[in-house]
Amino acid sequence: MSQARVLLFDSGMGGLTVARSVRHELPFAHLVYSADNAAFPYGAWEEQALVQRILFVMGKLIERVEPDIVVIACNTASTIALAQLREKFKVPFVGTVPAIKPAAAQSKSHIIGVLATPGTVRREYTHTLIHDFASHCHVTLHGAPKLAEIAERKLKGVPVDLDELKAEVAPVFVEEGGKRTDVVVLGCTHYPLLADELAKVEPWVVRYIDPAPAIARRVADVLKDVVPKEPTKPVPPHNSVLLTSTREAAADALPAYAKMSFHLPEFLDLKV
């Protein structure tokens, strides 16, 4: 019997944080990472155009990989397109949404921050999560316009400008009535890549919630009910990375993917 093929999808490198947790949870799975880097960053896209882009790219990826499960390792894509993906394709999907429920449960001050992309902040889904699970908390929802790109640059070897980072995250640190923010949700899979730098710029110590371990456990649970299928044609090998750009456009990112074990690149050139 073949090992389960897991397709991980993000707009860029942020999903590598989820891939790392999936690899730890499922050490024998056949992992293929995919990034729609030709369309990065997703947070700035208009919603309907982005939904159509995600459906188009996912169709090409599923045809190429024939996965047993797809992990949408991107908060923006999950909050706007997960329902449409499940409707269009027969493969099981696991999504990524802001970890607002555990943040509200863990906060002692009941003041929590949510760092996300501007796109995720605008989504009705995000506001519904806050209403359903954190109505008893003061929630600061902040769309950080540059944070995902700062994380991408770090993975490509560019030093993080700590002053720029501090300005990006400052709005989620709130003091009110003698209490202050004690939990911050990392509402984009890119953000855990900046964990060391966040610890340097935070005005006081908070708990950051990285959803990746919980996503990996969910993938393992779903796969318990999935019988891996033999592919009908040659598919990308384990540890491949599929990119929607040309090789030239992705050249500076390839060492970062290789460092996270995805050292076999393939270029789909799916122009925006």
Cis omega before residue 41 (within 30°)? yes
Closest CA to 99 of 118, 116, 122: 116
Q: Which tokens in the block code for residue 211?
A: 């959803």
Q: Which tokens in the block code for residue 204?
A: 């006081």
Specify binding-site residues: 10-11, 42-43, 75-76, 189-190
CATH class belonging to 5-96+213-267 = alpha beta
Q: What is the pLDDT of residue 63?
A: 97
Q: What is the pLDDT of residue 143?
A: 94
Q: What is the pLDDT of residue 125?
A: 87
CB-CB contact of 65 with 235 (8 Å)? yes
Specify binding-site residues for substrate: 10-11, 42-43, 75-76, 189-190
Hey, which residues are catalytic here? 74, 188
- State how far the Cα of 259 lies from the Cα of 263, in Å rounded to an integer: 8
* Per-residue pLDDT of the chain in tens (272 residues, 90 and over written 9): 468 999 999 999 999 999 999 999 999 999 999 999 999 888 778 899 999 999 999 999 999 999 999 999 998 899 899 999 999 999 999 999 889 999 999 999 999 999 998 888 888 889 999 999 999 999 999 999 999 999 999 998 999 999 999 999 999 999 999 999 999 999 999 999 999 999 999 999 999 999 899 999 999 999 999 999 999 999 999 999 999 999 999 999 999 999 999 999 999 999 88
Q: Which tokens in the block code for residue 176?
A: 């009110």
Q: What is the pLDDT of residue 59?
A: 97
Do β-strands 175-176 and 179-180 pair in parallel, antiparallel, or remain unpaired?
antiparallel
* 120, 200, 203 from 206: Cα distances, Å: 22, 12, 9
Protein fold of 100-210:
Rossmann fold (3.40.50)
- State how far the Cα of 87 lies from the Cα of 106, in Å rounded to an integer: 34
Closest CA to 81 of 112, 108, 58: 58
Give the sign of the dihedral formed by CA 105, CA 145, CA 17, CA 87: positive
Closest CA to 184 of 240, 120, 106: 106
Q: Which tokens in the block code for residue 16?
A: 């590598």
Q: What is the pLDDT of residue 1?
A: 45
Rg of the chain (C-alpha set): 18
The 3-class SS string of 143-157 reads ECCCHHHHHHHHHCC
Question: What residues does each domain of the chain span?
Answer: 5-96+213-267, 100-210
The 3-class SS string of 88-127 reads HCCCCEECCCCCHHHHHHHCCCCEEEEEECHHHHHCHHHH
